[in-house]
Amino acid sequence: MIIKINYEWGYAMSKEVVSYMLSGMDNMKSLQVQLILQCAPFLKGIKVSCILNISKENEEELLEVLKGTGIRFKVLTRNQEKSLVFLYRRKSFSEYLKRADVYEFLNAYGYESSEPEAMLEHLSERVCQYSDGKICFPHEIGAFLDYPIDDVKCFIEKDGKDSLFSGYWKVYNNPGRAKLIFWAYDKAKTSAVNEYLVGKSIRDIACIAA
């Protein structure tokens, strides 16, 4: 089985690997694979957070899968079938939110507290308002997801157009920095996938916070 990596445009896997990982899986194992494929940089401690769309029935399974990892999650919104969940480690996420550029940017969108729970509650309110058709999508979520603040600002100002290139986010500034981060994310995914394929659990794969 071969894992294919493109260091500029992000991570891709061979169809054989994906098929193997998804074959004959129950809900719990399927959820674990989803976490690995979509959240590996976060699991490995490179990102401070990530988001995941799961079925509402899988919220309890997610609690079980994350047991012992130090990872928390907040349900941002639910519809009839799906839950959008935000995953984070409280200590590192709290430190990130207090960073001057992050706090100043989010404060401009009405996030007055720097405490994770209050910030995520306000984000949840805005995502729910978007789901109800009351506001435009709250693109400041990019700051919550540890994207470079200057790129988040440009994405909003340019309505998502005219980026230099796209990978894990749309890059407008410092392409060299972005490519290095994309490379680190790809490497984390390779590591997490390989560890899973040899039988490690999410707890084994995840970087456990002190």
As a whole number of angstroms, the longest Cα–Cα distance in the chain is: 49
Q: What is the mean pLDDT of residues 174-189?
A: 97
- The per-residue pLDDT for 207 is 82
- What pLDDT, on the 0 to 100 scale, is given for residue 10? 40
User: What is the value of pTM for the model shown?
Assistant: 0.87
How many Cα atoms within 13 Å fall on the side-chain side of residue 21?
A: 25
Torsion sign, CA atoms 205, 98, 140, 172: negative
Q: Band of the pLDDT at 19, cuts 50, 70, 90? A: low
* Interatomic CA distance for residues 47 and 38, integer angstroms: 12
Asked if pLDDT for residue 110 goes beyond 50, the answer is yes
Neighbours of 138 (CB within 10 A): 19
152 Rama sector, left if φ>0, alpha if ψ -120 to 50, beta otherwise: alpha
Mean pLDDT of all residues in the chain? 89
- Give residue-wise pLDDT tens across range 146-179: 999 999 999 999 999 999 999 999 999 999 999 9
Over the stretch 56-92, which tens digit does the pLDDT of each residue have?
Answer: 889 999 999 999 999 999 999 998 889 999 999 999 9
